[in-house]
C-alpha cells in the first residue's frame, strides 16, 4: 500500500524581496509526516513565469507495467506530450475524468504506445477501465521549478533566483477526498546552497494504492 500524492506549493514573492545581485540557488525540501517519517511522491513547485519553453530532465512517460502505472505521480510542463506505453501481456484502457484534460485511450496491447498532449495546468487522475486497482496522477505545471520527494522524503529545486519565497502547501488526497489545508512561512534561496525547509504533514483523509 502507498499513500496518495500530496501537493506542496512554494509561492515566490515579488523581486523586491531580493537583496543584492541575483544568483542561482537550490532549495532543498524535507517532507515528513507528523510522526517524523519521510514521505515520497510529494510534488514541490515554486511559482514563476517561464522565459523559455519548460523542459524537465525526466522522461514524460506513464508506463503500464506489472498491472500498475509507473511512476505513481509524473510531473510535466504545460504542452507536454506524454507517452503511455503498455508493457503488460494484457490490454489496458487508460482514462481520466479530471477537468483539466479528460481523455480516453481505448484498449491497446503489449508494446503499443499512445500519446496524449496536456495543454492546461492541473492534476490529472488516471485509471484503467479494466483494472480498477491501477491508479496514478499526472501534475501539469506552468513553472520551470518543480521536484518530487524521493523515498527519503527529499526534494531539491535547482537553479532558483536568489530571494525570499513564501511556502504554501496543500494536502491532496486520492480522488479528491480528504481536507485541504494551507500553511505559510518564509523560506530563502541564496548563494550556492539554499535553506532547507522541513514540511510536516498530518496524514488525514489519505487514500492508498495496493
Please give the average per-residue pLDDT across 127-156, as a whole number.
Answer: 91
15 has a pLDDT exceeding 50: no
Q: For residue 92, give the nearest of 110, 104, 108 by alpha carbon.
A: 108
pTM to 2 decimals?
0.77
d(CA 21, CA 161): 10
Give the pLDDT score at 14.
31
45 has a pLDDT exceeding 60: yes
Query: Which grid coordinates belong to 70?
Result: 509507473
User: From start to end of 102-193, where are the E strands?
Assistant: 103-108, 112-118, 122-128, 135-141, 145-148, 154-161, 163-170, 184-189
pLDDT band at 23 (very low <50, low <70, confident <90, very high): low
Q: For residue 122, give the nearest of 104, 96, 148 by alpha carbon.
A: 96
Percentage of the chain beyond pLDDT 90 is 41
Tens of pLDDT, residues 103-125: 999 999 999 999 999 999 999 99
Q: Where are the domains of the chain?
A: 2-48+143-203, 63-141
2-48+143-203 and 63-141 in the same fold: yes
Query: Residue 176 in 3-state DSSP?
Result: helix
Give the pLDDT score at 168.
52
Return the CATH superfamily for domain 63-141. Cupredoxins -  blue copper proteins (2.60.40.420)
Q: For residue 177, give the nearest of 125, 134, 128, 131 by alpha carbon.
A: 125
d(CA 28, CA 101): 31
d(CA 56, CA 49): 15
CATH T-level assignment (fold) for domain 2-48+143-203? Immunoglobulin-like (2.60.40)
Please give the average per-residue pLDDT across 175-198, as a whole number.
Answer: 44
Mean pLDDT of the chain: 75
Amino acid at each position: 500500500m502507498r499513500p496518495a500524492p500530496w501537493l506542496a506549493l512554494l509561492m515566490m514573492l515579488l523581486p523586491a524581496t531580493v537583496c543584492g545581485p541575483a544568483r542561482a540557488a537550490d532549495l532543498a525540501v524535507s517532507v515528513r509526516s507528523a510522526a517524523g517519517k519521510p514521505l515520497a511522491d510529494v510534488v514541490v513547485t515554486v511559482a514563476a513565469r517561464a522565459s523559455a519553453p519548460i523542459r524537465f530532465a525526466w522522461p514524460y512517460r506513464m508506463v503500464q507495467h506489472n498491472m500498475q502505472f509507473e511512476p505513481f505521480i509524473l510531473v510535466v510542463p504545460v504542452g507536454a506530450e506524454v507517452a503511455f506505453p503498455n508493457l503488460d501481456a494484457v490490454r489496458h484502457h487508460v482514462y481520466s475524468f479530471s477537468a483539466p484534460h479528460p481523455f480516453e485511450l481505448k484498449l491497446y496491447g503489449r508494446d503499443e504506445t499512445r500519446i496524449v498532449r496536456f495543454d492546461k495546468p492541473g492534476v490529472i487522475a488516471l485509471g484503467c477501465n479494466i483494472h480498477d486497482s491501477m491508479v496514478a496522477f499526472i501534475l501539469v505545471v506552468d513553472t520551470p521549478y518543480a521536484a518530487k520527494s524521493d523515498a527519503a522524503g527529499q526534494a531539491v529545486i535547482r537553479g532558483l533566483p536568489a530571494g525570499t519565497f513564501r511556502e504554501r502547501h496543500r494536502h491532496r488526497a486520492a480522488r479528491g477526498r480528504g481536507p485541504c489545508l494551507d500553511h505559510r512561512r518564509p523560506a530563502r534561496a541564496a548563494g550556492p546552497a539554499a535553506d532547507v525547509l522541513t514540511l510536516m504533514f498530518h496524514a488525514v483523509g489519505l487514500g492508498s494504492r495496493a
